[in-house]
Structure 1
Amino acid sequence: MSLPSKAFQRWLHGIAPNTSTADVCRFSGVKRTTLAQQLVRGKVAESSLVSISRAFDMNPFDALAQFEAYAALRGTPVPPTDAELVSQVSTTDLLRAVVERSDPGEGVPPLVLAETPHGSSVRNWVDAIDDGELRHRVSGSTGIAPQNFSAHLTANRLPPELALATSRAAGVGPAGGLVASGLVTEAEAGWPPGARRDALDRMTDGELALLAGERLQALGKALRRHEHELDHSNRIWENLG
């Protein structure tokens, strides 16, 4: 989707009226050439706005909401569902939670969840909110081909506009996909502190074990696919001599 450069420049002037573009880039870590190219093209990447917002102590979630394309972020935040929260717990942490419940042990420090996003956060988030027809609805509303949508999930990435469209099609709050894709943090999106751990603790032992099993199965398939692709590449190189 990206942000219109004129609207971005108005926003930037509002938060840093006396700061040069060079200083903005230096403070935020955004390459000066990158921002210049985006401004010339008339489309500024959301990631640039997020980096600049953080550099000037502004919540990037609130900054995005100032743009018309992200009007859905305005107003009272919609809390994430438990399924969304648990989807942002890594598979490793999920397995640790299973072990923690099975054998608490004395003197063992409590599980501290890794930060979002994790290696399969995008796919897990979509799976958590999918009623079986979500991918078809997203394809119909955005025009993206189902195979291209699946490719995004496999690569664990989701463009912001597609994340919003997916949230809208699933009837959940607009923040989940932005957190899952790593554009904003859970705190920036307004998720309560410890919300993921609380949702994990609310799961029954059976629910936790079943989810861990599903995650392991998905991980196994991904590893096998990677091994197959690596083996195929090696054979090609061997044939080339």
Structure 2
Amino acid sequence: MTVSAKAFQQWLDGVAGTTSRAAVCRAAGIKRSTLAQQLVRGRVSVATVAAVSRSLHRPVVESLSAFEKFEDLSIGLREPSEAELLSQISDTDLLTEILNRSKAADTGAKTALLELSPVPHRTSVRTWLDAVGPADLRQQLAREVGIAPQNLSAQISANRLTAELAISSARIAGVGLANGLVATGFLAPDEAGWLPGARSITLRQTPDSTLVSLAAERLDSLGRTLKRIEADTAAAQQLWENLG
């Protein structure tokens, strides 16, 4: 997703002051040629906006809200629901927590505190979409933004989602507009206004039955994915054998 080069230059002039473009690029970790190409094409990526914003120690959400297509982003911040927080806990961490609780129940010891893996995890986009619903969210999203359902599915399978799709998904689901940007890895949780340790707190407060049900859903989805991969691999192998 991009913003207009003109709008970007106006924003940059306002936030960078007399700092040279070369200095801005160095601080943001962006090649000068990359920014130059984007400006020539008339479109600057939102990733560039975020990188420059961070280098200037400005809130990324506030910076994005300076652009027309994101103008409601900052006022649309909302704390994630418990389901959203759990969706951003990896399968491995979820299973480890269940095993730790089971072990503690057997031994009478306290459940060991689990240090969670960072966001995003390998299926964070899909689990976030599943968490926010509604059931036809993907269909509504495809219609609203004009993307082919198979292309949307491909992004989700690859654990990717453009900023436009993530924000549009949040609007449809009625959740915080920046929450999907956390699931995609575009924003860090604190940049979206998530409280420190919110995932860990929610995990500790979630009943065993809920965690087990969630883990079962995750494993079922993983099983279907693995079956597709195995079938594709077998088909490709058979094709090579027939050709050979």
* Cα-to-partner distance string for 1:76-108 (whole Å, 9 max, x where unaligned): 731111111111111111111111211136588
CA drift of 1:170 comes to: 0.8
- What residue is the counterpart of 2:161 in the other structure? 158
- What residue is the counterpart of 2:39 in the other structure? 39
> Distance in 2 between the 1:18 and 1:116 partners?
35
> Distance in 1 between the 2:28 and 2:237 partners?
41
* Cα-to-partner distance string for 1:10-43 (whole Å, 9 max, x where unaligned): 1112222222222222221112222111111111
Normalised to the residue count of structure 2, the TM-score between the two structures is 0.91
CA drift of 1:139 comes to: 2.3
* Cα-to-partner distance string for 1:105-159 (whole Å, 9 max, x where unaligned): 6588510111111100000000111121212221232222222222211111000
- What residue is the counterpart of 2:136 in the other structure? 133
**Secondary structure at the counterpart of residue 73 of structure 1:** coil
Length, aligned pairs only: 241
**Secondary structure at the counterpart of residue 233 of structure 2:** helix
Which amino acid is 1:91 matched to? D
CA drift of 1:238 comes to: 4.8
Structure 1, unpaired ranges of 5+: none
> Distance in 2 between the 1:76 and 1:126 partners?
18
* Cα-to-partner distance string for 1:205-227 (whole Å, 9 max, x where unaligned): 11100101111121222233233
| 5-14 or 84-93, which deviates more | 5-14
> Distance in 1 between the 2:232 and 2:130 partners?
25
> Distance in 1 between the 2:233 and 2:32 partners?
37
| 129-138 or 119-128, which deviates more | 129-138
> Distance in 1 between the 2:240 and 2:21 partners?
47
Q: Percent identity?
A: 46
Which amino acid is 1:35 matched to? L
Which amino acid is 2:83 matched to? A
> Distance in 1 between the 2:200 and 2:23 partners?
39
Contact 2:87 2:131 in 1 (8 A): yes
Q: CA RMSD in A?
A: 1.9
**Secondary structure at the counterpart of residue 158 of structure 1:** coil
Whether 1:202 aligns to 2:205 is yes
Say if 1:142 and 1:111 are closer, same or farther in 2 by CA, change over 3 A: same
Say if 1:233 and 1:27 are closer, same or farther in 2 by CA, change over 3 A: farther
Which amino acid is 2:218 matched to? R
- What residue is the counterpart of 2:62 in the other structure? 62
Which of 186, 189, 193 is residue 189 of structure 2 equivalent to?
186
- What residue is the counterpart of 1:223 in the other structure? 226
Contact 2:61 2:74 in 1 (8 A): no
**Secondary structure at the counterpart of residue 78 of structure 1:** coil
- What residue is the counterpart of 2:102 in the other structure? 102
**Secondary structure at the counterpart of residue 3 of structure 1:** strand
Normalised to the residue count of structure 1, the TM-score between the two structures is 0.92
**Secondary structure at the counterpart of residue 179 of structure 1:** helix
CA drift of 1:183 comes to: 0.6
> Distance in 2 between the 1:56 and 1:230 partners?
47
> Distance in 1 between the 2:235 and 2:35 partners?
39
Structure 2, unpaired ranges of 5+: none
